[in-house]
Amino acid sequence: MNKNQKGFGIVEILLSLVVLGVLGFVIWTFYQKQNDGNSSSSNNSNGQAQPENQAPQINESKDLQKAENYLNNTDIDKKLDTTEIDNSLGE
């Protein structure tokens, strides 16, 4: 038998496939995490519509207009309970 053989054996090929598989899985996992963070601001991670009383999430600069519209249309005084402040000032 010739001991001076050249080339890859079956063990080296299988080891290379395992390494590529693990590397691909790690990259795919990070890619999925990035896509979950960049989902549409009108939908949450479950694909359900965002409640009206919740401020939009800002992930990109294009989301700033949605946030500005939300803030302009929010009447803060109606949601703020000032009875404790009024009572403490009245004393």
Asked whether residue 22 is domain-assigned, the answer is: yes
Indicate whether 2 belongs to any domain: no
Does residue 35 fall inside a structural domain?
yes
Written as one string, the DSSP assignment of 27-70 is HHHHHHHHHHHTS-TTB-TTSPBPPTTSPPP--STTHHHHHHHH
Q: Is 33 a member of any domain?
A: yes
pLDDT in the model for residue 85 = 75
Residue % of the chain over a pLDDT of 90? 22
Q: Is residue 50 part of a domain?
A: no
pLDDT in tens, 24-65: 999 999 988 888 766 554 454 445 555 566 767 778 887 888
- The answer to whether residue 46 sits within a structural domain is no
pLDDT band at 69 (very low <50, low <70, confident <90, very high): confident
- Higher-pLDDT residue of 70 and 9 is 9
Q: Is the dihedral of CA 39, 33, 62, 58 positive or negative?
A: positive
Asked whether the beta carbons of 39 and 57 are under 8 A apart, the reply is no
Check: CB of residue 58 under 8 Å from CB of residue 64.
Answer: yes
pTM above threshold 0.75 = no
Query: Is 5 within a domain?
Result: no
Task: Please tell me the distance from the alpha carbon of residue 18 to that of residue 21, in angstroms, as a whole number.
Answer: 5
Provide the number of structural domains found in the chain. 1
- Where in the sequence is the domain holding 61, given as residue range(s)? 10-39+56-90
Distance CA(53)–CA(56), nearest Å, equals: 9
